[in-house]
Structure 1
């Protein structure tokens, strides 16, 4: 008997002859979550299928019709029809949707973790600490729903040959619930991320300032070092500036160690402080030659002034002699010690000038500057006291010759204040009228002291000055009150 040649494959062939349908596996955009891989047909089953096809060719038709029943349990997939395949497809779609939701949640969590780490590195306020705590709580919630999703995936093998419609329906329901939970937590995570805006913006601003601040500090230290080298090259020592610059070396070491070791806020503050102090050293170093020249000029000027005051102090004694001869003791007693005081002040000033010169020679610039300030104060005091004696004699001569001029000047001030107090009023305010009336009486008493054989001209002058000060105070009070009411 001639053997029948093998027939080509056709859809109407028995199900045992069809190739097994590949398992559906649509991975999400990222790493595929854990699940069961599609099972393969055992090697023994593939050999049985090949032998069966050979028998189909060799045996009569009646035997062929009996083959499906004989191979129903031979390891091939059972064929359930349209309903089972529809449920399987729906379950697979639910699985794919859940996988996508899982991937989106994982990506969002990883992105948000970067933001949280940024805030934690910069901000230590209660709000930042609360955000970290809330993120940890969200992380635990994410772990919980992720575990539920993985359990749902592992519990159902959608590629199983004998998957029943009911099992596929249960798989779809559980995977749908897992996706809904993943979506809910994703929405919570999004809301939390939206609330981090102010904290994250503040942290990013500080981080953006960090690198430029550190670089400014380094450049500032370099500029200060270069300026100091230039000053030393000109012959100036600048030891105090060198000590200040050396004190910044440990701070530079900490800056080089970075914010990871010392914290962003602390590093930022340190960089700004180092830059500020280095700039101060640089400015003073650049100004040091000018400062040295200024100190030299002040030494010469103050030395000349001290010599001039020595000459003027010698002229005080003749002035005092004339005051004693022509006026009462009350007019000159307070000037008795002016000659001795002036001489002592000049002597002290000359000693301080020598010390300042020595400090300048040693290039102790702060000491030299302080000593020169002391010299200037001593000479100012001496100048005032020496000038006071001559001014006293001049004023006493003027009032002795024409006291009426002082009287008229004071009366004019009182009348001018009285007119201002009455402006726009029928009666003056007692707060203004009383001190003005007292001033009138005080002036009359002062005029009375000019009578007699030895008038006290100095008392008269001090009284008229006091009256004018009182009147000026009343005028200022009136103008202030009326200016305030106008507003």
Structure 2
């Protein structure tokens, strides 16, 4: 059916239209007068008819009273059939317009869906709507043909002609009604797709506006940072890269599609928001970088001082304990000096990056310096800690022995709790730990005890016992 001029304008690309027959203007009229004779206008014929009626009546009246001739009586059944046919014509016209209105409304819904959704389901909807359009055209053509075939305003309308007109117009109305029912069912089936499309359309304008506002806020934040003396060239480049995206947003969904425009608006909002956040944090980041440079430089100087204490510690370890107790620390002084040298070099590079306001480079270099100093600190501390622990165990090894045996006995009691015999999975590692402790104690005998081996063995025994305890508690549902 052809859309009327009052059809609402849709900003989207319309779906494919089915072939549409041309409607006769007379289909929009409930009745129409009889066709004028060739060469005589309708108005002239009406005048002639009015002038001829008195004359015909005068000629017919004597013959009627004389009882001669044949007379034709118009009225009665003919007029009743004419009225019924006219009623059928009016009902068919109402069905025609109702179907036409429903089709126009549904076409707007189809255009809404196709503007948003390019899925197979949406393409199937377009195909089904085209098929319905062809059925609507066929039903409409049947109605127009029935209207054109019968002039219900003709004066000498036979009852049989009126009855036939009523039958054809009623059939046309029924067919229009059936197609309208199919159209209504089709429209109800569109509800999920139409709801989704309308939701996306409702999100479109706010999303685009948010993207514009996010870009404006990022630009303002960048201007404020530059006024404070910071360059922020990388942020400016990131913001400039969003310029073409704003152009596409301004071109609208009609050119780029609703889903693509929504995705673009959300991406622009997200990236512009990130630029704004980094720009606003840039002064704080600069101050933090300056603080870290000073702090790490001070720490490197302190480690240089501490590293000078490693050699005296190693000298004492060599003098009082066997080689096994200190030989793994031999390289600490050289490693410490090298690490401090590398840290100072990286600090200079970080300072240059900060001066050039290359913030990612400065941050990365400072992280490298921190890692180097942490490793150096651990190595320097290890030498002093080794001497302290060896002094303690040399003075009183029994304290370490008692500590380890207590851990083993505590684990054994837990393993036997609520049982007559321990679980072999728990008993075996605990028994092995007892033997391992005894062997470690045996290494203390002799002229040059290996105290460091003793300490590492007792530490390993306690770790094994702790794993068994954790396993038991986990199996029994208690706290680990």
Which residue of 2 is the match for residue 399 of structure 1?
393
Q: Would the aligned equivalents of 2:289 and 2:363 in 1 still touch at CA under 8 Å?
A: yes
Alignment partner of 1:342 is 2:336 = yes
Give the Cα–Cα distance (whole angstroms) in 2 for the partners of residues 55 and 431 of structure 1: 128
The offset of 1:291, in angstroms, is: 0.5
The offset of 1:62, in angstroms, is: 9.6
Give the Cα–Cα distance (whole angstroms) in 2 for the partners of residues 45 and 312 of structure 1: 125
Alignment partner of 1:219 is 2:213 = yes
Q: Residue 105 of structure 1 aligns to a residue in which SS?
A: helix
TM-score under structure 2 normalisation? 0.88
Q: Residue 419 of structure 2 aligns to a residue in which SS?
A: coil
Which residue of 2 is the match for residue 28 of structure 1?
none
Give the Cα–Cα distance (whole angstroms) in 2 for the partners of residues 52 and 211 of structure 1: 70
Give the Cα–Cα distance (whole angstroms) in 2 for the partners of residues 200 and 241 of structure 1: 41
Give the Cα–Cα distance (whole angstroms) in 2 for the partners of residues 356 and 386 of structure 1: 25
Give the Cα–Cα distance (whole angstroms) in 2 for the partners of residues 47 and 89 of structure 1: 26
| Distance 1:436-1:283 versus aligned 2 partners, 3 A rule | same
| Distance 1:68-1:341 versus aligned 2 partners, 3 A rule | farther
State how 1:12-411 maps to structure 2 within 5 Å. Answer: 33=27, 37-39=32-34, 43=44, 46-47=47-48, 50=51, 53=54, 65=62, 79-411=73-405
Deviations 1:418-458 (A, max 9, x none): 11111111001100100000000000000000000000000
Alignment partner of 1:427 is 2:424 = no
| Distance 1:139-1:401 versus aligned 2 partners, 3 A rule | same
Deviations 1:400-420 (A, max 9, x none): 000000000000111111111
Q: Residue 37 of structure 1 aligns to a residue in which SS?
A: coil
Deviations 1:160-206 (A, max 9, x none): 12211111101100110111111111111111111111111111111
Q: Residue 33 of structure 1 aligns to a residue in which SS?
A: helix
Give the Cα–Cα distance (whole angstroms) in 2 for the partners of residues 400 and 308 of structure 1: 31
Q: Would the aligned equivalents of 1:90 and 1:172 in 2 still touch at CA under 8 Å?
A: yes
Deviations 1:240-279 (A, max 9, x none): 1001101111111111111111111111011001000000
Alignment coverage as a number of residue pairs: 446
Q: Residue 208 of structure 2 aligns to a residue in which SS?
A: helix
RMSD: 2.4
Give the Cα–Cα distance (whole angstroms) in 2 for the partners of residues 51 and 133 of structure 1: 59
Q: Would the aligned equivalents of 2:32 and 2:152 in 1 still touch at CA under 8 Å?
A: no
Q: Would the aligned equivalents of 2:393 and 2:451 in 1 still touch at CA under 8 Å?
A: yes
Give the Cα–Cα distance (whole angstroms) in 1 for the partners of residues 60 and 179 of structure 2: 61
Q: Would the aligned equivalents of 1:32 and 1:99 in 2 still touch at CA under 8 Å?
A: no
TM-score under structure 1 normalisation? 0.87
Give the Cα–Cα distance (whole angstroms) in 2 for the partners of residues 245 and 157 of structure 1: 74
Which residue of 2 is the match for residue 6 of structure 1?
none
Gaps of 5+ in 1: 1-30
Give the Cα–Cα distance (whole angstroms) in 1 for the partners of residues 134 and 455 of structure 2: 92
**Hey, which bits of structure 1, 4+ residues long, moved more than 4 A?**
51-56, 61-64, 66-69
Q: Would the aligned equivalents of 1:94 and 1:176 in 2 still touch at CA under 8 Å?
A: yes
Q: Residue 169 of structure 1 aligns to a residue in which SS?
A: helix
| Distance 1:473-1:426 versus aligned 2 partners, 3 A rule | same
Which of the pair has more CA radius of gyration? 1
Give the Cα–Cα distance (whole angstroms) in 2 for the partners of residues 278 and 48 of structure 1: 82
